[in-house]
Amino acid sequence: STQLDIEAIRAEFPVLHQQVNGKPLVYFDNAATNQKPLQVINALKHHYEADNANIHRGIHTLAERSTTAFEDTRKAVQTFINANEAEEIIFTKGTTESINLVASSWGRKFLQSGDEIIVSGLEHHSNIVPWQLIAQEKGAKVRAIPVMENGDLDIAAFSQLLSDKTRLVAVNHASNSLGTINPVKQIIEMAHARGAKVLIDGAQASSHLPIDVQQLNADFYAFSAHKMYGPTGVGILYGKRSLLEKMPPYQGGGEMIKEVSFEKTTFNDIPYKFEAGTPNIADVVAFKAAIDFINRVGKEHIAQYEEQLLTYATSQLKNIEGVKIIGEALHKVSVVSFVVEGIHHFDLGMWMDAKGVAVRTGHHCTQPLMDRFCIEGTTRASFSVYNTIEEIDVFIGALKDIIKKLKP
Ligand code: PMP
């Protein structure tokens, strides 16, 4: 009972309409990256055909058009996450670079020996390794919030981990491996009460959940355009102005300076201080079309519909003998991970592909989480707004066939 016309939405995504290995493509690898609507593809094409020029430095017409389009995306992102100012939006190349920026810049200035950084057992490697690197450099320590059997974070244990040594807490809004939606507002309140800053990895939240950085009171919020119907190569870092202004530059180069001499260089204001060099102009410009797409379809409608897909897929999977779902938190984005008794996930993924079904297999860049469940990896199906109940039926049918074929 959705208000969405899914067939009309599917028609906006050319890539969906193809056969893979002689079967209609069923694309269930949306948590890795989702597909792009014509609106985005056309925006990219339009930029190169009509407006392409380097930004900010030029006074000619194309440079002005490119600059305006680039800065329009910044404003659209500001509105999308309800940031207080457009200057608090920094463009990077992805969530990974956004987190590395904070770890390098904020971490280098504010971390000291003996300080602690708390991450969680649900984190993607990109929200673990940058903290390990800076912690090693500074003599700080990385600690992890444990994950409970159902895939929720253990908030009581988090409370125990927090101390006067905690400088920063870095957790995801939603887990890419299990789908768990974390109580980030509560986590932020608890961290702030101990004087720690908080970075939220929103890579898996941005296309599914409402994001209001002011309401959350997040200090930093990172996400990637390519997981929200936008181009690859564009990431966003939101940071509170008061923090960004105190942070040293991440990289040096053009655009991030006010004046350069061999004696002394002064740095530009935010956000430019953190955007050294020519950015990914065309993809940033096209990213606005992705935000427009989400706003047009409506995030609440998307969330409601994806919830239906998740509920249906989960109940179908539970009916199959030998299938075990990993992660059954009450609040999840549309991601379902599972293991099948006696069948390796790589074999399963390969046979799925032979049937036209694209799923992800492996550790999903969350090895500590796999260790927690004593598994090497899972098979993961993840849904976007253009997926259908019929596709889930195809996937379930394929899974049953494969189990019959491969089971010892
Ligand atoms: N965090 C999470 C939760 C993710 O799902 C991903 C992408 N799989 C990342 C971080 C890294 O994003 P990117 O590769 O776009 O930098």
Taking domain 6-30+299-406, whether its CATH number is 3.40.50.11720 is answered by no
Distance, in Å, from the CA atom of 246 to the CA atom of 227, rounded to the nearest integer, reads: 30
The rounded Å distance from CA 157 to ligand 1 centre is: 25
Q: Does 128 contact ligand 1 (Cβ within 6 A)?
A: no
The rounded Å distance from CA 258 to ligand 1 centre is: 33
Report CA dihedral (306, 310, 312, 314) to the nearest 10 degrees. 180
As a whole number, the mean pLDDT across the chain is 97
- Quote the pTM value: 0.97
Class of the CATH domain delimited by 41-295: alpha beta
Q: What is the mean pLDDT of residues 272-278?
A: 96
The rounded Å distance from CA 30 to ligand 1 centre is: 12
Q: What is the pLDDT of residue 255?
A: 85
Give the number of the atom of ligand 1 that is nearest the alpha carbon of residue 172: 3
| Helix-strand-coil split of the chain, %, nearest 5 | 45, 20, 35
Where do the structural domains in the chain lie, given as residue ranges? Answer: 6-30+299-406, 41-295
- Say how far residue 384 (Cα) sits from the centre of its chain: 14
Contact indicator for 199, 99 with CB cutoff of 8 Å = yes
Residues identified as active-site: 365
Q: What is the pLDDT of residue 2?
A: 60
Among 188, 150, 77, residue whose Cα is nearest residue 373: 150
Evaluate if residue 123 carries a pLDDT over 90: yes
Q: ipTM above 0.95?
A: yes
Give the number of the atom of ligand 1 that is nearest the alpha carbon of residue 94: 16
Q: What is the pLDDT of residue 1?
A: 47
Q: Does 219 contact ligand 1 (Cβ within 6 A)?
A: no
* CB neighbour class for 73 (10 Å; exposed up to 12, middle 13-18, buried from 19): buried
Q: For 344-377, what is each residue's pLDDT tens digit?
A: 999 999 999 999 999 999 999 999 999 999 999 9
Q: Does 178 contact ligand 1 (Cβ within 6 A)?
A: no
Give the number of the atom of ligand 1 that is nearest the alpha carbon of residue 232: 15
Is cis: bond before 271, omega within 30 of 0?
A: yes
* CB neighbour class for 255 (10 Å; exposed up to 12, middle 13-18, buried from 19): middle
Tell me the CA distances in angstroms from 353 to 310, 316, 323, 387, one per residue in order: 21, 20, 19, 17
Distance, in Å, from the CA atom of 74 to the CA atom of 76, rounded to the nearest integer, reads: 5
Length of the chain: 408
The rounded Å distance from CA 312 to ligand 1 centre is: 26
Higher pLDDT, 105 or 255: 105
Pocket test for ligand 1, best of 124, 178, 226, 283 (most atoms within 8 A of CB): 124
Encode 164-216 in three state secondary structure.
CCEEEEEEECECCCCCEECCHHHHHHHHHHCCCEEEEECCCCCCCCCCCHHHH
